[in-house]
Structure 1
């Protein structure tokens, strides 16, 4: 893509999962608009990319491994929904398996809003590690 080109929504989503699965959390944060909002099931409401970036700095320390595999991706204009499966291990090696549903609004090639929904029970091992 050349300078000034806007990344299509489907490509933004492909990068979202690629960066998460490779632990490139700073690049993952770059996919969000500066004034983004996120309703995250475990962390609550997150406002602003800078706050998101500071929260994600410890992500690599929480997990020994992390994979979020998209199973179904639906894109309609600037909205998208993704059903995915997280397979991970906590830093202490405890397994985490969770089905996830994410909703995205993407404007000008950046995620402006995201909401995620999943079973919170598998993530309780993070607080027990």
Structure 2
């Protein structure tokens, strides 16, 4: 499940990525805030497609124990306006019955200033 998550993200397979989540999942996302349910996630994906021209998230360290996982990764992206974004990220996952039920991510928000600036106006 965790490998598939990153395979989908790095291939830009957002439809495949969405299929990994439980219908009633919960996400605490550093930039998007608290999200609940697949409809909220679909809206977030639509935003990702508009904000980034390239988005890669490469795992560096993966720890899995039971139905929980933590992944430390490096995000390398390019904003729609061409500004590069590099950030270290940690994702925490809970998986139940083959679907992600909870996801939280943690990272420095400074590298994302190029995509956040238009939203603050």
TM range, smaller chain: over 0.9
Match of 2:25 in 1: 36
Shift of 1:104: 0.4
Q: Aligned ranges for residues 45-56 of structure 1 at < 5 Å?
A: 45-56=34-45
Superposition TM-score, scaled by structure 1 size? 0.87
Match of 1:3 in 2: none
Superposition TM-score, scaled by structure 2 size? 0.92
Instruction: Tell me how far apart the structure 1 counterparts of residues 32 and 117 of structure 2 sit (CA, whole Å).
Output: 17
Unpaired runs of 5+ in structure 1?
1-11
Instruction: Tell me how far apart the structure 2 counterparts of residues 19 and 84 of structure 1 sit (CA, whole Å).
Output: 15
Unpaired runs of 5+ in structure 2?
none
Match among 82, 105, 109 for residue 93 of structure 1: 82
Match among 48, 55, 68 for residue 79 of structure 1: 68
Q: How many residues align?
A: 118
Contact 1:89 1:96 in 2 (8 A): yes
Root-mean-square deviation over aligned CA pairs: 1.1
Computing the radius of gyration over CA atoms, which structure comes out larger, 1 or 2?
1
Instruction: Tell me how far apart the structure 2 counterparts of residues 122 and 40 of structure 1 sit (CA, whole Å).
Output: 15
Instruction: Tell me how far apart the structure 2 counterparts of residues 54 and 27 of structure 1 sit (CA, whole Å).
Output: 15
